[in-house]
Amino acid sequence: MSRFTPQVARIATVPIRIHWGWGFISIIVVLLLQNLYRTQIHDINAWFAAASMVVLLLLSVILHECGHAIVARRFGVPIRSITIYAIGGITEIVEDPPTAKIDFCINMAGPLASCMLMLLGALCWGLGTSSLVTLLGTQLFLINGMIIVFNLLPGYPLDGGRILRSILWFLFNDELRASQSTTRIAQLIGWSFLFVTILYASTTYDFINSLWGALIGYFLLHTSKSGHQQLLIRRTLTGVSVADLMLRVYPAVKPDLSLEQFVGKFLLGQTNQGFPVIYAPDQDVPQPLLGMISVRDLRRFTTHKWSLTYVQEAMTPIDHLHTLTPNTPASEAVRIFLDSKEEQIPVLDGETFLGILRRRDIVRYIQMELNRLTPRL
């Protein structure tokens, strides 16, 4: 778990994480809204009204994502977590939905949850017995209305793009073809937004509203390819395990080597930044991994202490390391690399060291497969 997205709650065993950017945006929104409410609302504190708007927005986004998660689990699709970012939420699934129908149901669940919240807001708005209930109902209605409209734009990772892809997947019976078609449609709509926005701005000189249209067009153009590319990456890694990509022959370091000797023998002229520590690197026999020594570990010691400090004192011990097994799916290894700052991760069978998987080896494999299999969008 990244320090930028701490877990704040757990709903039905699904971790709920909030990125720090959400807090930053929330403060800005509260400051802007309280100035607006101060002139428009006289019987309710403007700060309270602004803060309630932000809280309702957060709850609405969480419940929207919970809609995806609940339906996914009902169809047997495992969920890793829900993360709330400054511009929305992401429900991270462990495996892709197996069919177009299941994919459609999962993607529709979020907007349907927002529709229910919008109807609840309309009910409070219409039947409100006090100005506070009316205010909260109005806010709930407007927030979820905006969530629905924005999320149904046909661009990845928005629900609209995912829903369109699932429909085309059902019609074509080909997920890759559907994904590619969705990308092209999203790009066409994105360019159309930009063209209409430029035309509107040049004739009306309404540059403020034109800016929003331009941002939507840019967003669709910028994100439209990402969904297809992620699908291609997952496809290239399907059936691939760590054993297929790991390096079985890799330089290792003895624990009784001084840091000065380690730098001279291993780091100078090497592209590798980390090395496994084992008792007898020269012997071709199974050995337990003691830890890893890297450039990052060296930085904890001044250069004049290198001759007096041994590798076993400076290394990161095994219980503080990310580790993989040969049978770990390559897609899971990618997730671990993305969540950590590691450039290489040791591969173990129990405690026995088998080899190293490097980040750049996975990237190279994916690039080779993409160049071989994919046409240019």
Q: Domain with 322 in it: what CATH number?
A: 3.10.580.10
Give the global pTM.
Answer: 0.75
Helical ranges in the chain per DSSP H? 20-40, 46-74, 100-127, 131-151, 159-172, 175-204, 207-237, 242-245, 259-262, 295-298, 311-314, 330-339, 359-373
* Nearest residue to 64 (alpha-carbon basis) of 133, 127, 16, 124: 16
Choosing from 119, 151, 183, the residue where a domain stops is 151
Do residues 145 and 212 both lie within one domain? no
Query: Is 176 found in the same domain as 136?
Result: no
**Which has the minimum average pLDDT: 22-26, 161-165, 318-322?**
22-26
- State whether 102 and 176 are in the same domain: no
* Whether 1 and 147 share a structural domain: yes
Per-residue pLDDT of 109-147, as tens digits, reads 999 999 999 999 999 888 866 777 888 898 899 999 999
Please tell me whether residues 268 and 218 are part of one structural domain: no
Buried residues in 204-215 as b, exposed as e (16+ CB within 10 A): eeeeeebeebbe
Mean pLDDT of the chain: 88
On the question of pLDDT at 375 being above 60, the answer is no
Q: Which of 151, 186, 215 is the last residue of a domain?
A: 151
Q: Residue 347 belongs to what domain range?
A: 242-372
Residue 277 has pLDDT above 60, yes or no: yes
Note the pLDDT of residue 117.
Answer: 96
* 151-164 average pLDDT score: 87
* Nearest to 357, CA basis, from 213, 190, 242, 185: 242
Question: At residue 128, what is the residue type?
Answer: G
- 8-state DSSP, 263: I
Whether the pLDDT of residue 93 is over 70: the answer is yes
Asked if residue 287 has pLDDT above 70, the reply is: yes
